[in-house]
Amino acid sequence: MRFELKCALKYLVPKWRQLSVSIISLLSIAVISLVVWLVIVFLSVTEGIEKKWIDELIALNSPLRMVPTKTYYQSYYYQIDGEASASNFSCKSIGEKLSCPVSDPYDLSYDPELPLDFPKPDLNADGELKDPVKEAWTLASSFKGAIPKEYEVSFGNLRLSLLRKEGMKDDKQESVLSQLSYITSFEGDNKRLTKMFLPQRKGDYSNLLINLEMPLHGVSSTFQSRVTPFLRTIHVESVETAPGGWQLPETCYPEKGKFCSCALVHQGKIFKIFIAKERDGFDHLLHRLSPYTPLLGDLYFDQGKLSFLSISGGSFSKKEMIPSPVVYIDEGSEFNATFNEESIIGAHCLADLRFTISGMVQGVSIHGEVPYQGLTLGKVSPIDHLSSYWIFTKEDGTVGIPSNTPLGDGVLLPKSYRENGAMLGDSGTICYTSEGASSCQEMQLPIYVAGFYDPGLLPVGNRVVLTDPKVTAALRSDFTIADQMLGNG
């Protein structure tokens, strides 16, 4: 070892008055340091990636699942619920069986007579019906560290309606996302799963607010009752002008100011003026207004009076306006904002909500109280973890998903939906088939997007939709599947 160290030091330690040897020594030290650093970085990165992959892989697949056999579904214990009035003549899931106080709900003196080929009951030594669900639950609970829970998986066609405003059009354009999906129960106490939740993005809260303006079909609710829980759980710091621009109210006109603008002319008179976001930001505005052949120039404010000086071929000329031309501020302009909580009293639509705004456009101050029209929410921070419309943290530290809201039941979607344009608050339905007495009918369960998650390496992760266990139970109660063992356990 000493010999090797002496040889290494001979070439690594710079020599006095030996320039070539010193340069080689310094280069050797630099190369060795770089290699060591790269090895450390590579190992740390690969270890982090491996840990992330493992967490993603086991978040939805780590629980050990116990499923009933075909014998269970053919037994008296399972099928007797379909013949008993106490069970509403419907078979029960594992969770319903567990919570039921009696194992045999059949009443011989009241319920219809059982068919001759009906399965025989499996009785214990005391002559009572055996309860395999409760016995299995007790056995699973006896293992150290084991926490038994029911799980359910159903199937349904998820349809999302995406309402978006494009450009200067007032009407919203609707598109539909549709996919046959696995509907499974949301596990709020799965800590690995909670790490895979995706944070809200810019525009999510605005989209949710827009969807709250539209009442759910068949549900009686007022705009005020739908929007109040949302506004009380967020703090709005700023608003932005919506795509297509924001009409500047006359009450917010500056006393004096000059703005680089584009004007639209009809019959020789200016009737609309668009103020650019910045003095040098004409490219985007001109491109958007190019179908209307806009005039480029300066808009002047003077004690409430407007004048427009057109720039054409390097010369300036004053253009005539209609008595009250409409002034817009280009999309993407941000203003500090404070929500006026009193405006929610008696509000019937988003335009009735009012914000006090202040900000600068091209160096000119714009401020005043304005309606929420032509605006979107900018910076938003939740006040409280308890929310009525997105995933929230409960008092015991577990995570909950909203259900029975004015928008329907909340669902947590894979991130592939977000990549295809879905946002928080988008509403839709889960379509499934219900068997009636004489025919099958398509049923629709109203849902909305309460959040997104990263399914990781799960092969069918892009089709797994997480929702409240009550929703999954409702789907399975009317859903017929050939292999029922895959649905509940």
Q: What is the CA radius of gyration of the chain?
A: 33
Give the Cβ contact number of residue 230 at 10 Å: 19
**Cβ–Cβ < 8 Å for 340, 369:** yes
Token pair for residue 406? 């004015």
Rounded Cα distance between 385 and 404, Å, is: 18
Confidence of residue 413 (pLDDT cuts 50, 70, 90): very high
Give the Cβ contact number of residue 329 at 10 Å: 25
Rounded Cα distance between 169 and 178, Å, is: 26
Give the Cβ contact number of residue 331 at 10 Å: 21
Kindly report which listed range (154-163, 168-177, 255-264, 313-322) carries the lowest average pLDDT score.
313-322
3 state SS of 177: strand
Confidence of residue 485 (pLDDT cuts 50, 70, 90): very low
Contacts of 475 (CB under 8 A, 6+ apart): 154, 155, 156, 183, 430, 432, 445
Instruction: Say what the alpha-carbon torsion angle 214, 216, 221, 222 is, to the nearest 10 degrees.
Output: 0
**Cβ–Cβ < 8 Å for 78, 70:** no
Percent of residues, the chain, with pLDDT higher than 90: 11
Token pair for residue 407? 């928008």
Contacts of 187 (CB under 8 A, 6+ apart): 149, 151, 193
25-45 burial: b if 16+ Cβ within 10 Å, else e: beeeeeeeeeeeeeeeeeeee
pLDDT digits (tens, 9 = 90+) for 101-150: 888 888 888 888 888 888 888 888 787 888 888 888 888 778 777 777 77
Half-sphere exposure of 253 (CA within 13 A, CB side): 18
Find the angle CA(454)-CA(467)-CA(488) to the nearest 5 degrees.
Answer: 105
pLDDT digits (tens, 9 = 90+) for 79-99: 888 888 877 887 787 878 888
pLDDT digits (tens, 9 = 90+) for 63-81: 677 778 788 888 888 888 8
**Cβ–Cβ < 8 Å for 274, 374:** no
Higher pLDDT, 458 or 384: 458
Confidence of residue 482 (pLDDT cuts 50, 70, 90): very low
Whole-number mean pLDDT of the chain? 80
Half-sphere exposure of 255 (CA within 13 A, CB side): 0
Percent of residues, the chain, with pLDDT higher than 70: 82
Give the Cβ contact number of residue 119 at 10 Å: 15
pTM value? 0.77
Rounded Cα distance between 411 and 393, Å, is: 16
Note the pLDDT of residue 480. Answer: 47
Note the pLDDT of residue 316. Answer: 55
Note the pLDDT of residue 15. Answer: 62
Higher pLDDT, 282 or 10: 282
Rounded Cα distance between 263 and 241, Å, is: 18
Rounded Cα distance between 421 and 71, Å, is: 45
pLDDT digits (tens, 9 = 90+) for 346-358: 888 888 999 999 9
Q: Check pLDDT > 90 for residue 335.
A: yes
Note the pLDDT of residue 22. Answer: 64
Rounded Cα distance between 451 and 422, Å, is: 10
Q: 50 - beta bridge partners?
A: none
3 state SS of 184: strand
Confidence of residue 151 (pLDDT cuts 50, 70, 90): confident
Give the DSSP H/E element, type plus range, for residue 20.
helix 19-59
**Cβ–Cβ < 8 Å for 389, 382:** no
pLDDT digits (tens, 9 = 90+) for 188-201: 777 777 778 888 88
Is the backbone of residue 386 left (phi > 0), alpha (psi -120 to 50) or beta? beta
Note the pLDDT of residue 37. Answer: 82
* For the ranges 18-27, 361-370, 382-391, the one whose mean pLDDT is highest: 361-370
Token pair for residue 336? 């500090």
Closest by alpha carbon to 263, among 290, 307, 297, 287?
297
Contacts of 390 (CB under 8 A, 6+ apart): 200, 208, 402, 410, 424, 450, 451
pLDDT digits (tens, 9 = 90+) for 267-316: 888 888 998 888 876 777 888 887 888 888 888 988 878 888 887 755 55
